[in-house]
């Protein structure tokens, strides 16, 4: 089963389970899939991968936002400029990974390599 076939099967499977399409495909993932980048949906990734991917992205985006809005004038310690986004990213990554893996466990979803669409009853 190709990645695009798995994605189509996942959308049908999630609709039958009542899982929001956003849960399986956040906007960043949808953009990557649009450009044919074969990244697995978050709910099919291990806890550490979800935590690192989402936490890292959140830390970078939050850090850039804070820099542009508040810290670019100077006067802030490098510990603040680096530390606050890292703490935010770590917390965001942990919470997101916990949420995603809870959904995967609740619906008994395997890792992406083992996923073959909805189970046949």
- The answer to whether residues 7 and 29 touch, using CB atoms and an 8 Å cutoff, is no
Residue 121 domain flag: no
Whether 102 has a pLDDT exceeding 60, the answer reads yes
> What is d(CA 84, CA 61) in angstroms, rounded to the nearest whole number?
12
Mean pLDDT of 102-108: 94
The angle at the Cα of 77, spanning 72 to 82, to the nearest 5 degrees, equals 80
Residue 58 domain flag: yes
Q: Name the percent of the chain lying above pLDDT 70.
A: 99
Residue 104 domain flag: yes
Residue 120 domain flag: no
Helix boundaries (H) for the chain: 3-17, 21-24, 27-34, 47-69, 78-106
Query: What is the residue range of 93's domain?
Result: 3-114
Residue 14 domain flag: yes
Whether 120 has a pLDDT exceeding 80, the answer reads no
Residue 49 domain flag: yes
Query: Per-residue pLDDT tens for 12-66?
Result: 999 999 888 888 788 888 999 999 998 999 999 999 999 999 999 999 999 999 9
pLDDT at position 109, please? 93
Residue 22 domain flag: yes
Whether 94 has a pLDDT exceeding 70, the answer reads yes
Residue 102 domain flag: yes
> What is d(CA 33, CA 72) in angstroms, rounded to the nearest whole number?
34
> The pTM is what?
0.86
> What is d(CA 19, CA 21) in angstroms, rounded to the nearest whole number?
6
Specify the number of domains making up the chain. 1
């Amino acid at each position: 089963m190709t990645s695009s076939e798995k994605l189509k099967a996942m959308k049908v499977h999630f609709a039958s389970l009542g899982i929001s399409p956003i849960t399986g495909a956040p906007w960043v993932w949808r953009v990557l899939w649009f450009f044919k980048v074969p990244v697995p949906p978050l709910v099919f990734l291990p806890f550490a991968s979800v935590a690192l991917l989402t936490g890292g992205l959140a830390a970078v985006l939050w850090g850039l936002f804070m820099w542009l809005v508040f810290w670019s004038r100077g006067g802030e310690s490098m510990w603040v400029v680096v530390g606050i986004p890292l703490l935010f990213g770590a917390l965001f990554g942990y919470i997101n990974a916990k949420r995603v893996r809870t959904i995967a466990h609740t619906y008994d979803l395997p890792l992406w390599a083992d996923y073959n669409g909805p189970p046949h009853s």
